[in-house]
């Protein structure tokens, strides 16, 4: 268990230079649309409310694997234009590192909950509209596996 905590801290440290000054709401705001949906769906799979980091962060390995699989399956290069190398495992590690060790103020946590809920709702609405449009123009979609799967696999391997 101690090793797992060190692993999470080490993974978060890899991205610390880019995330060190970001708040949790800013980190979630930087997720591509398919990444925020993958996060929400993965949270549902592990019985966590996506806005409750107190549920998400104590055991991120399972969530990271589920999220990475969804990102790898559902995100294509166009959808990840916000962060071409979107790595869900790294992003989640950065968020949980801040949540676990930076003791963010209540105002930041409240803002994070609002950003998460708003983004999930907005993206789900947009996805529903896009799904309807796609159904009328059904064509095969080729997706690429982004680094999210690599991050998820690393978290899973290290959790063992």
pLDDT at 52 over 90: yes
Do 60 and 92 touch, CB atoms closer than 8 A?
yes
* Residue in the structure block whose two tokens are 């989640």: 92
Residue at 45 is within a domain: yes
pLDDT tens sequence across 73-100: 777 665 555 556 678 888 999 999 999 9
Q: Is 153 exposed, middle or buried (0-12, 13-18, 19+ CB in 10 A)?
A: middle
Residue at 46 is within a domain: yes
Give the chain's domain count: 1
102: containing domain: 2-134
Give the three-class secondary structure for 109.
Answer: helix
Dihedrals phi, psi of 36, to nearest 5 degrees: -70, -35
pLDDT for res 140: 52
Pair of tokens at residue 19: 């995330």
CA atoms within a 13 Å half-sphere pointing along the CA-CB vector of 102: 20
Secondary structure element (H or E) that encloses residue 99, with its range: helix 88-101
pTM over 0.75: no
pLDDT at 107 over 70: yes
Residue at 66 is within a domain: yes
């Amino acid at each position: 268990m101690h090793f797992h905590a060190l692993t999470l801290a080490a993974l978060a440290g890899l991205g610390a230079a880019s995330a060190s000054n970001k708040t949790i709401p800013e980190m979630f705001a930087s997720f591509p649309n398919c990444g925020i949906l993958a996060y929400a769906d993965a949270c549902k799979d592990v019985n966590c409310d996506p806005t409750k980091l107190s549920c998400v962060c104590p055991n991120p390995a399972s969530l990271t694997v589920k999220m990475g699989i969804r990102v790898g399956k559902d995100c294509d290069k166009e959808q990840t234009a916000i962060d071409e190398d979107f790595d869900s495992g790294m992003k989640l590690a950065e968020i949980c590192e801040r949540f676990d060790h930076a003791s963010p103020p209540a105002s930041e946590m409240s803002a994070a909950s609002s950003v998460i809920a708003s983004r999930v709702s907005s993206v789900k609405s947009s996805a529903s509209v896009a799904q309807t449009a796609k159904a009328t123009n059904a064509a095969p979609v080729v997706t690429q596996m982004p680094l999210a799967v690599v991050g998820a696999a690393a978290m899973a391997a290290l959790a063992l």
